[in-house]
Chains A and B, each alone.
Chain A
Amino acid sequence: MSIFINKQTRVLVQGITGKQGSFHTAQMLEYGTNIVAGVSPGKGGQSVEGLPVYDTVFAAMEKEPVDASILFIPAPFAKDAAYEALSAGVKIIVLIPEHIPLHDAMDIMAYARKQDAVVVGPNTFGLVSSGSSKIGIMPNRYFVPGPVGIVSRSGTLCYEIVGHLTEHDIGTTTVVGLGGDRVVGLNFIDVLSRFEEDPETKAVILVGEIGGSSEEEAAAYISTSMKKPVIAYLAGRSAPPGKRMGHAGAIIERGRGTFESKVKALNAAGVEVAGLPTEVPALIKKILS
C-alpha cells in the first residue's frame, strides 16, 4: 500500500522534451512509473523514450487520460502550465520548478482548490511510492519498499535520511516532498492524515526546517489525531534570523519559525526530534521493534 500514487497511477510529463524533462522521464520509467505521454507546445507528434508527445494537455488527455502530471517548466511559465493541467482535469499536479513567483503559487492553489486537485510543491523533489511509482526527481536506488512513511520540506536532506535508513535495511511506503517555498500545495497535515489511514505505514518521519509554522501545526495535529508514532529531524538549528537559507520558506521572521519553537511543539506532541540525521534509523528501529 501507499498514499497518493501507486503502480496504476497514469502520469503525464509537461515539458518532456527539455533537458530536465527528458532525463527524468527516463529515470521515472526505469523506476517503473506508469508514464503514458508528454506535452511540449510545438513539439506534438515527436516521441521521447518511446512516449507520444502532444502540443497541449487537452490533446494528451483525449488520447491518454492521466491521473497525475509532473511539470518541468521554467518558473515564469509554470502558472500557465499548471492551470492548463488543472483545467483539463488532472487531479495530482507535481510542481518541480524553483523560483515560481509567490503570487503565482497562490493563484495556482486557489484554482486547484476549485478543481478539487492535489498540488505537490512548488520547489519539490516530488513523491514516490517505493517500489511502484515515482513522480519526481529523487535518485531511484534509495527508495525501497518498507514500513516507514516520510514527509519532508527538503530534497537532498531527505535523501540523506533515506540513505541512512537503507543502510539499516529500513524501507519506505511513500515519501512526499512538500517543497521549499513559502506557499506549497500539500502540507504536513495533509500527508500525515493519509499515513495515519495507510495500513502499511507503521511509523512516520517528518523532515522539517526553520521558517513558517507548518511543523507547529503538524505537532498540534499529531497530538490530537494520530495514533501512529512519528519522529522528526529539523534543519536550521544554527541559522541566523532574517536570512533565507536557500529555500524561500526557510527564514526566521519577526521571531517566528525558530528551531526552538518547532522542537518544543513537536516534543509536546510526543514526537522525538533526532539531533543528527545519523540518529534517525536508531529512533525508527526503537519504534518498530
Chain B
Amino acid sequence: MKLYEYLGKKLFHRYDIPVPQSKMAESSEEAAEAAAELGDVVIKSQVLSGKRGKAGGIAFASNPGEARTEAERILNMRLNDLTVEKLLVEEKLQIEQELYLALTVDGALRCPVVLASLDGGMDVEEVAEDRMIKWPIDVSIGLQDYMTREICRKMGVSGALQKEFIKLLPKLYKMFRELDAELAEINPLALTPDGLVAADAKVTIDDDALYRHPQLPRVKEKTDLELKAEELDIAYVELEGDIAVMANGAGITMATLDMVQHYGGAAANFLDFGGGADVERTAQALELLLGTNPKVLLINIFGGITRCDIVAEGFVKVRESKGIDLPVSFRMVGTKEAEGRAILEKVGIKTFNSMDDAVRHAVELTGAS
C-alpha cells in the first residue's frame, strides 16, 4: 500500500524525523489561509504518482493571493491522469543541498538495504551507479552506528552532516521495520541551516502485513473491482483489452496473457483464482469477471490441486443463476479432467486440451463478434 506524501510525513513526524511545518488544504481558500500562517510556501498535490513537479503539480507562493491562484490551478488539473483532491501546503525550506536517503528490501540479498546519495532531488534512476551508496543490513543485528559512519565515509560526508545522519538513519530504520514498510524513501532529503529535513516522503507498506497495523490509514489506490477481488483473496488486475482471462496460478495467468498478446488479442484483466478453489470461489471469480463486460471469456485451468470438476460446477452454477451469454473459450486439463469436461459438455460447452488452441480460439472470437 503506497501512502500519500502527507501520510508518509505524518509517520516520519511520529518517528521524530524532521519534516517541514505544514497544513492540509482541500480548497484554494484553505490553501490561502495556510499560506497566511506559514509565509513563503510550497503547494504540493497529493497524488500517488511520481514526477509531480514536471507535471505541474507543485508550485511556490510567497503570499496568500498567489497560494489561492496556484491551489485553484492544481486542484483543477489532471495530474498524470489522476484528479487532485488534497494539497499539502508547507513552509518553504532554505535548502543548502539536496540529498537522497531510502530503505528498501533487496530481494537478491534477502534483507533491507540502505540507499544513500549526495545527488538528491532528481529521479532516482538518473543518479549515477557509483554515486548511490548501498548498504545491506543483517536484520539479526539491525542498523548500527558503524554502518551509518561507513555509508557517510563512502559518500564523502563527515563532521556535522555525519552526526545528522547518525541521528536520522536509525529513526528511519526503526520505522521501516516496525511498520512493515517495503520502501521508506526521502527524496530530497534537504540540508537546511537547522539540519536535515525530509522534504518529501515515499512510503509503501507491505500489503501482507497490514493486518497487524490497524492504526495505519488505508489508502485506496485500487479500482472497486480490484478491491472486491482483494476481499475474496483473488489476485486481480484491470487491463485495457476485451478478453476476460481467468486461470489458476500467477505464472500461468501471466503466460496466458502473453499468449493472448502473441496471437494478436488484448486481455481485459489478470485474474488468478489460485490453487484448490472450491465451487463458491470459482463462482465468485467468474461473477467478478462478468462485471467488467468483456467480449470474450477465456478460462485456462491446469488442474493440480485445483479440480476440473469443481471449476466446471462453479461455471455451470453461475451460468444457470446469472446467465453467461458471451462466447467462452475453455481449456481444461489435469485433476478430474474427464469429469469436468462431462459437466461442461452437458451444457454445450466444448473444452480445449491445449492452452494454445484455447487462446487462439478466444482471439478469433473477438474478431467474430
Contacts and interface: CB of A to CB of B under 8 A. Distances in A.
Contact of B250 (A110, A154, A237, A240): A154
Interface stretch (B87-95, B146-154, B298-306): B298-306
A101 B208 contact: yes
Dominant SS among interface residues on chain B: mixed
Interface in B253-282: 253-255, 257-262, 267, 270, 272, 275-276
A246 interface: yes
Interface in A238-289: 238-240, 243-250, 254-255, 275-278
A152 B110 CA distance: 18
A182 B258 contact: no
Interface in A85-107: 99-107
A160 interface: yes
B140 A156 contact: no
Contacts of B27: none
B261 A106 contact: no
Interface string A184-228: 110100000000000000000001011011100100000000000
B16 interface: no
A100 B355 CA distance: 31
Contact of A246 (B107, B182, B239, B272): B272
A245 B108 CA distance: 19
Interface string A158-173: 1110010000000000
Interface string A106-123: 110111001000000000
A13 interface: no
B338 interface: no
Interface of B: 105, 107-108, 110-112, 124-125, 138-140, 177, 180, 182, 206, 208-209, 211-212, 235, 237, 239, 247-255, 257-262, 267, 270, 272, 275-276, 302-305, 333-335, 354-356
5 contacts: A75-B208, A102-B105, A154-B254, A183-B107, A237-B261
Given A100-B208, A238-B254, A245-B254, 16 more contacts: A106-B139, A110-B110, A155-B304, A156-B247, A156-B249, A157-B251, A163-B302, A183-B110, A212-B107, A213-B107, A214-B108, A233-B255, A238-B261, A239-B270, A247-B251, A254-B125
